[in-house]
Amino acid sequence: MNDNNTWPVLGEAAASRVAKILAARAGWKLAEVAADHGMPLAGFLENEATALLIAVTRDPLQLAAAQMESALIAGRCDGLIIADERDPWFPPRMSLGHWQSGKVSWYLPMLPYEDRHDTLWLVPHNTVDINPGAPAFRLVARYLRPEPLPWRDDVERLAGLDRGATLLRRSIV
């Protein structure tokens, strides 16, 4: 592998604990993109049923998103980038690229949020001023789509962010 490559870390998505947890909770059936697809897609994970590619990156999320965008447009699919899980902060930040009508809209950084009904979401990072109209994405076994934020107040938001972080701390069984 070329250490100067700015593309998300190839081949590491399959080892991603976070990707496995998200997939299990969302009902996704992930498979590695076959090597015959060539670079840069080889080594990513994909969920064909929902047209979703998943990558892991050591680079800033914005750089990884810019590098992944052409693949999402060509594949007419959404993309999820998970920041390298070996970083000291937790939970890992993520970036979601939502494909629609030939364009990709990027949402970053995003964090896991678990609502009171055990549904997992990706929501805007909690350290920024959150616009009440900002989208959230429910992680389910169907195409991702922007939805209203899943909380009513700050107490509910913080509790859901804590549940999401706790979920990702657990190991896969």
H-only helix segments in the chain: 17-26, 61-75, 154-169
**136-153 pLDDT, tens per residue?**
999 999 899 999 999 999
Lowest mean pLDDT among 5-9, 64-68, 143-147, 164-168: 5-9
d(CA 122, CA 102): 22
Provide the pLDDT confidence category of residue 1 given band limits of 50, 70 and 90.
Answer: very low
Q: DSSP label at 9?
A: B
Nearest to 53 by CA among 95, 85, 115, 102: 95
Both tokens of 39, joined, read 């670079």
> What was the pLDDT predicted at 34?
58
Instruction: For 23-50, give one letter per residue: b (16+ CB within 10 A) or e.
Output: bebbebebeebeeeeeebbebbbbbeeb
More confident residue, 172 or 140: 140
* % of the chain residues with pLDDT over 90: 38
Nearest CA among 72, 120, 111, 117 for reference residue 92: 111
Q: How far apart are CA 147 and CA 49, in angstroms?
A: 20
d(CA 90, CA 68): 24
